[in-house]
Structure 1
Amino acid sequence: MRNATDRAARTRARLAACALDLFEQHGFEATTTVQIAAAAGVSEMTLFRHFPTKDQLVTGDPYDPAIAEVVAAQPASMPPLARASAGVRTAWARLPEPETGDVRRRVRIVASTPSLIAAMHAGTRATEDAIAHALIGGGASGRDARIAAAALLAALTAALLDWAETDDGTLGEAIVSALDVLDGDTP
């Protein structure tokens, strides 16, 4: 079982790497899934087993599910935005810093492709909903929870896009900077 899991992880990584290269060379819209599969040395069917849609090659975020769980675990006595911010800080501290180069490349491709911006916002909306539900579960009103989750995700998205364009620091530093702004911890 381990060999199959390792092989699947290697195939997934190879597909993502080939996709990034092709998207940077030809653009997202002009690159086909057939080209990506061929570059990775697999069939198009294999590509779709790993990435059900082409946009998931660049828009997937493995951290989103962990964030809502940690937000839910924050003290319910905290105001919703502070609780959400503390949850993201805690979740981020527990997660490994991703490889900066590939993440930055992915975000740049997303930022320059209108259809991917829409996909990113759809993913952000799912995370926003999960965080809002976690806050509601802790006693926040629906309105306050939705506002806090939306403010949090807007700040994180703005920081992520700025980070990708500026080549400044790590993703973790960009996230912490956005949280500092939300928490009023900036000069």
Structure 2
Amino acid sequence: MRDEAPSLRERRRAETQRAIQSHAMRLFAERGYDATTVNEVAAAAGVSPMTVYRHFPTKEDLVLHGRYDPLIAARVAARPAGEPLVRRIGTALVEAARIAAEPPGRDLLLARLRLMIDTPALRARHLDSQYATQKAVADALLGDAPDPEAEFRTWVVASTCLAAMEVAITRWAQEDGVPDLPALVATALGAAFGDDFG
């Protein structure tokens, strides 16, 4: 992970993405996901449809796009190498949940999760994005030339941890973000792994 501050260009790109996504989420909430077009999102954000597609290649990306994979991978990589895999990955997921549930991103995350739960096309696409997260976690732990047995174990643990987190964030969204998200994630991981995570 880079230590230097983002450049002006990177900050402007991030601001444009946030603005487009914010307008998209508002329109999806008002009109419904299926009834809202990318052209309407572009008009609401004051940009061209091409600009929307440059930042979000598909309509689904307007909802599912987030920056959590690099955050999770960095947190996993920063954990002590001697820790058990469950502890390394699980603790990183709890930390990422803590960051994601903080304002101002909390409301956007909650809106995104609600849409994902209610929209079949988004649920299916979200499953695809889970693979990318698993890969980011595995890459952070394994490096360039992993041992096949270690790679297998890492993918199993990463997949199980992410499945537990998925159950926790779904419950959090269904309960309108009232429960403490990091605590829900920790509870889900404890249910999956028992004393190995507790």
Question: TM-score, structure 1 length as denominator?
Answer: 0.82
Number of aligned positions between the proteins: 186
Letter in 1 for 2:179: G
Query: Once the 2 structures are TM-superposed, how far is the Cα of residue 67 of structure 1 from its aligned partner?
Result: 1.4
Partner of residue 17, structure 1: 22
Query: Once the 2 structures are TM-superposed, how far is the Cα of residue 51 of structure 1 from its aligned partner?
Result: 1.6
The runs of 5 or more residues in structure 1 that have no matched partner are none
| Separation of aligned partners in 2, 1:113 and 1:93 | 26
Tell me: CA distance 1:92–1:28, structure 2 relative to 1, closer, same or farther (3 Å). Answer: closer
RMSD: 2.9
**Worse-superposed segment, 110-119 or 151-160:** 110-119
**Worse-superposed segment, 130-139 or 57-66:** 130-139
| Separation of aligned partners in 1, 2:113 and 2:97 | 18
Query: Once the 2 structures are TM-superposed, how far is the Cα of residue 35 of structure 1 from its aligned partner?
Result: 0.9
Alpha carbons 2:100, 2:106 under 8 Å: kept: no
Tell me: CA distance 1:87–1:41, structure 2 relative to 1, closer, same or farther (3 Å). Answer: closer
Letter in 1 for 2:67: P
Partner of residue 121, structure 1: 127
| Separation of aligned partners in 2, 1:39 and 1:16 | 11
Partner of residue 53, structure 1: 58
Alpha carbons 2:86, 2:161 under 8 Å: kept: yes
Letter in 2 for 1:120: H
**Worse-superposed segment, 99-108 or 177-186:** 177-186
The runs of 5 or more residues in structure 2 that have no matched partner are 1-6
Tell me: CA distance 1:155–1:96, structure 2 relative to 1, closer, same or farther (3 Å). Answer: closer
| Separation of aligned partners in 2, 1:7 and 1:181 | 42
Query: Once the 2 structures are TM-superposed, how far is the Cα of residue 6 of structure 1 from its aligned partner?
Result: 5.2
| Separation of aligned partners in 1, 2:82 and 2:186 | 22
Tell me: CA distance 1:77–1:11, structure 2 relative to 1, closer, same or farther (3 Å). Answer: closer
Tell me: CA distance 1:7–1:17, structure 2 relative to 1, closer, same or farther (3 Å). Answer: same
**Worse-superposed segment, 12-21 or 175-184:** 175-184
Letter in 2 for 1:55: E
**Worse-superposed segment, 96-105 or 47-56:** 96-105
Which of 153, 161, 164 is the aligned partner of 2:173?
A: 164
| Separation of aligned partners in 2, 1:127 and 1:13 | 21
1:1-187 correspondence runs (5 A): 2=8, 7-90=12-95, 97-98=102-103, 99-137=105-143, 141-167=150-176, 168-182=178-192, 184=194
Query: Once the 2 structures are TM-superposed, how far is the Cα of residue 15 of structure 1 from its aligned partner?
Result: 1.4
| Separation of aligned partners in 1, 2:194 and 2:101 | 26
Query: Once the 2 structures are TM-superposed, how far is the Cα of residue 94 of structure 1 from its aligned partner?
Result: 6.9
Letter in 1 for 2:49: E
